[in-house]
Structures are given as C-alpha cells and as structure tokens.
Amino acid sequence: MAVPRAAKTQRRTRIQEEKEERILDAALDVFSSSGFRGTTIDQIAEVAGMSKPNLLYYFRTKEAIHRTLLERMLFTWLDPLQAFDADGDPESEIRSYIRRKLEMSRDFPRESRLFANEILQGAPHIEDELKGPLKALVDEKAEVIRAWIKAGKLARCDPYHLIFSIWATTQHYADFDVQVRAVLGERRAGEGRFEDAARYLEQLFMSGLKIGIQSEP
C-alpha cells in the first residue's frame, strides 16, 4: 500500500523533502504570476519537472499546495513588523522597517505577488488571518507609534495610514515590478533601482514625519 507522505515511517525522507520543496518553489512561480484559479497543476508539474500524478502524490490537491505557500509566506510577512520595537527610537525603527520591507520586495518578489494576488481576489483563504493576528499586530504597533507621537518624537499622524503607506510604497517595487521597469527604461531598471528607492523613501518618510526636525512647535 502506498500512502503518500510516509504515514508509515512518520519521519519525512530526504527525497520527500526535496520533492516537496521543488513543488512549492515551482508553485510559487506559477501562483504568484497567474493567481490561484489561473494556475493549473500541469503548469506547476512542468516547472517542477515531474508528472502531474507524481506531484499529486506529494500534495493531494492544488489547494493544499496553495495553502502551504500562504502559511509560510504569512509567517515571514509579519516578521519585519514584529521587530518594530517600542523601546527603540522612532527614527531608527521606522528607517529599518522600511529598509527591511524593501529588501523583502527585492529578495522575495514572488511571495509579495502571491500575497497581492490573494488580497486582490478578496483574500478568500486568509481573511481570518487578516482580521485576527494581522489586525492585532498592527493595533499593537499603532499604539507604539501613538506613544511616540505623544512623546513629541514624531509628527502627529494616523499610525494606521502610516503603516499602510510603508506597505504600499515598498511592496510596489515587487508587485508592480513590470511597470517600474517599463517606466524607468533599460538604463535605470537595473538592480540599482532598489537603492534609489531606498534613498527616496527614507527621505520621504523621515522628513515627512519630521523625524529629527524640530521646525514648527
């Protein structure tokens, strides 16, 4: 009897781990650029270099692959915001948050697009995660920001929209990559665009929030 995913040995074999990883990597490729419904198992199988039934031996359904990817992604997604430290000072905390998020757009664009796709379609698979853990985390960090404002370390502003604007501007470079490249043209669309973006965003947010500037009482 061939029960998938090694029910007998319980411990996953080397070959299982490798194949599952290859499948998830291929699936991330396809899902992130075609969305859930736009992706076929055959496409994933082809990218992963195996037959469809073989792939389905490791993941029983298309949904199972997608679910696994979303779970992994959400975890790393919340990570930078977790690191936001109430005891740090606003300047370095916000600055490094922006930098980290931008690095994620540069290094994990597929994950960003997978997330964007999911949200665009109305977040059918992760609505609970958004309303639960994500909201809780943002609420917590918004409170931190509010405290900084009260302490006069930051310009008065809506903490939620501040967070939204950091998400939007940084993820833009992953999600709208094609557009960014098209507009910048070949000459400026190299890897340097991320450093340019970092410089610009730092300036925008730092002086936009009047961090380190004591003008206007």
Partner DNA sequence: TGATAATTTGACCGGTTGGTAAAAACATAC
Partner DNA sequence: GTATGTTTTTACCAACCGGTCAAATTATCA
- Name residue, tokens 């779970």: 71
Q: Which residue has the tokens 């604007």?
A: 165
Which position among 26, 29, 32, 61 is part of the footprint of DNA (CB under 7 A)?
Answer: 61
Q: Angle of helix 109-120 relative to helix 90-107, nearest 10 degrees?
A: 90
| Shortest spacing between CB 13 and DNA, in angstroms | 4
Separation between Cα atoms, residue 157 and residue 149, nearest integer Å:
8
Q: 56, exposed or middle or buried, with CB in 10 Å at 0-12, 13-18, 19+?
A: middle
**Residue in 57, 144, 147, 202 binding DNA, rule: CB under 7 A:** 57
Based on the shown chain and the rule CB under 8 A, indicate whether residue 34 belongs to the binding site for a copy of itself: yes
Which residues have C-beta within 8 Å of that of residue 205, sequence separation ≥ 6? Answer: 94, 95, 98, 165, 166, 211
User: Contact with DNA (CB under 7 A): which of 15, 122, 187, 214?
Assistant: 15
Examine residue 51 and tell whether it contacts DNA (CB under 7 A): yes
Which residues, 119 to 178, sit near DNA by CB under 7 A?
A: none
| Residue 121: Cβ within 10 Å count | 12
39 or 170, CB closer to DNA? 39
Structure tokens at 9: 């040995």
State how far the alpha carbon of 148 is from the alpha carbons of 37, 78, 152, in Å: 44, 21, 6
Q: Pick from 25, 46, 52, 72 the residue near DNA by CB under 7 A.
A: 52
- Angle at which helices 90-107 and 159-175 cross, to 10°: 30
Site size for DNA (CB under 7 A): 29
Residue 3 interacting partner from a copy of itself, DNA, none (CB closer than 5 to 8 Å by kind): DNA
CB-CB contact of 142 with 159 (8 Å): yes
- Interface with DNA includes 16 (CB under 7 A)? yes
Strands (E), 34-133: none
Interface of this chain with a copy of itself, residues 145 to 174, rule: CB under 8 A: 155, 157-158, 160-165, 167-169, 171-173
Stretch that binds DNA, among 9-17, 87-95, 97-105, 143-151 (CB under 7 A): 9-17
Using the rule CB under 7 A, which residue among 53, 122, 124, 217 binds DNA?
53
92 is a site residue for DNA (CB under 7 A): no
Binding site for a copy of itself (CB under 8 A): 33-38, 113, 116-117, 119-123, 127, 130-131, 134-135, 138, 155, 157-158, 160-165, 167-169, 171-173, 175-176, 178-180, 182-185, 188, 196-197, 199-201, 203-205, 207-210, 213, 215
